[in-house]
Amino acid sequence: MSNSTESKRRALFCCHYARLGDVAEAARCAGYPPETAAADGAAILRQQCYRRMVANYRSVLHDDPAAAVRAGLERLAFGRSNDAIGLLLAEEPPGAAAVQALDLFPVSSVKRDKNGGMEIHFFDRLKALTALYEYGGDADGKAAAHALLTALSGREAVDSDAED
């Protein structure tokens, strides 16, 4: 791999790490092999220039709480559920390393019954889309955060006017 390509991949890792906060997941998102993702990500973070890059991305992403909430809602609303479906359809339970490589962000819970069956519950995409629509425009950070928490909890939103 050329130096330029590897530099771009490391920058991509930094962006994903700033957004996700998980070294292994960020490295996988940047294209590093799942088997070595955690070690590859840690090696990148040992270099000062990449730690600065992560700090810069975080300042951009987290200076606006509404943007972070919007990113979470977008991930719930538009994210892929392939890993969860693959887990459900697998004939044998995956090992710990394989589970760590899965993107289970849209999953709210996983249950296994005594007969070996599996039940997977997903966060409600429609609620996430509704929250994006309602709070996406010029909503302040507090309202957007409330929308995310409501979507994640699965509860119905409470109208503040109705409480008065």
Query: Model pTM?
Result: 0.53
pLDDT tens figures, 115-140: 878 899 999 999 998 888 887 555 55
Integer Cα distance of 20 and 57 in angstroms? 11
pLDDT range class, residue 164, cuts 50, 70, 90: very low
Integer Cα distance of 77 and 162 in angstroms? 27
Instruction: Check if the beta carbon of residue 38 is closer than 8 Å to that of residue 23.
Output: yes
Q: Which of 22-36, 89-103, 124-138 has the highest mean pLDDT?
A: 22-36
